Structure 1
Amino acid sequence: MKLSKTGLDLIKHFEGLRLNTYRCQAGVLTIGYGHTGSDVKSGMKITEAQADAYLVADVAKFERAVADMVKVPLTQSQFDALVSFTFNLGAGKVKSSTLIRKVNAGDFAEAAAEFAKWRLAGGKVSNGLVTRRAAEAKLFQTK
């Protein structure tokens, strides 16, 4: 599966576009639409086109991660919500999560309830993450 425009718009909305490096709430050096990694350096500046290119590459990585983690058929909305969630948290955390265990058990109602548990940034409840998780859970439950 591939992320739909709805899923991409969700990621863009919650990540926001920043053309200069910054530290996210968890203290990670970030640029563009939530791009992190060893190629992100302090003081770095990029164009919107570069931010879009990072986003395309990052989304592809998280599409593959979700496809590898999930062993049951998903709707497009479920896939989009899981890609957004994984984009934000990283595949390592998501792979071992109760949310993925519930998805793979086919317990989609319980899986949707798991999104809300992932609301901490730097050890503190983040209102932005509370809002993002609610949007992801809503999308996950959309038919």
Structure 2
Amino acid sequence: MKQIFDFLRKISGGKLTQKQVEAADKLIATAYDDVAGMLGIATDVMSTSQNGINLISSFEGCELKAYLCPAKVWTIGFGTTVYPNGVKVKKGDSCTLDQAKQFKAHDLKRFEKTVDDLVQVPLTQNQFDALVSLTYNIGPGAFEKSTLLKKLNTGDYQGAADQFTVWNKGGGKVLQGLVNRRAKEKEVFLR
């Protein structure tokens, strides 16, 4: 995907507008579905429910000016660290509420895809929502390497649920906000 957007940036003179990014996303998704359909590949993927979106939003909050999160990463909106065009958030950036919502929708798709791609066992909607919330916060790489995912993919749902509480640190310190978030994610996962 990055290669496609790098190519599009190159042919457009170096930058893409938000509308261009959204149009490219839609075109790529449509093409993927068409090709998958011709090959007989199922493209059914789960998406986050409104309850899941509300869960993520309640913990992320919304900041219209870039700030350093506890892990020392520049962040904006509802926890966005990289804009849809691939550019990292930096000091001094700002956005409107509508832009923050667009960034969140783009981020959600990315984290939903991560969960869909990596989880090899059936999930309930609540389990999926909890895993997307976790991945939204810790990132795809950490989720992919996690003991939580390993346990889940062996069918150990309770063992996976117990791993949520491990992810309670930011910048090397236990943060009460993360303790609270993980407890809620675990509760949703087990519901």
TM above 0.5: yes
Tell me how far apart the structure 2 counterparts of residues 41 and 89 of structure 1 sit (CA, whole Å). Answer: 19
Give the counterpart of 2:163 among 104, 114, 117.
Answer: 114
User: Who is 1:40 aligned against?
Assistant: 89
Q: How does 1:45-56 map to 2 (within 5 A)?
A: 45-56=94-105
Partner of 2:8: none
TM norm structure 1: 0.97
2-side partners of 1:30 and 1:76: how far apart? 28
Could you give the per-residue CA deviations for residues 14-44 of structure 1, whole angstroms, max 9, x where no partner exists? 0000000000011100000000023412111
Secondary structure of 2:76's aligned partner: strand
Alignment of 1:74-93 (within 5 A): 74-93=123-142
C-alpha separation in 1, matches of 2:55 and 2:185: 8
Distance in 2 (CA, whole Å) between partners of 1:121 and 1:70 is 25
Whole-angstrom distance in 2 between the partners of 1:95 and 1:66:
9
TM-score, normalisation: structure 2 = 0.73
- RMSD, matched Cα: 0.7
Query: Aligned partners of 1:129 and 1:32: how far apart in 2?
Result: 18
Counterpart AA for 1:35: T
Q: How does 1:2-21 map to 2 (within 5 A)?
A: 2-21=47-66
Provide the identity percentage: 49
Structure 2 portions without partners, runs of 5+: 1-45
**Who is 1:72 aligned against?**
121
Q: Tell me which amino acid in the other structure corresponds to 1:117.
A: V
Q: Which of the residues 1, 21, 25 maps onto 2:70?
A: 25
Larger radius of gyration: 2
Larger deviation, residues 55-64 vs 101-110:
101-110
Aligned to 1:131: 180
1:138 is aligned with what amino acid?
E
The one-letter code matched in structure 2 to 1:29 is W
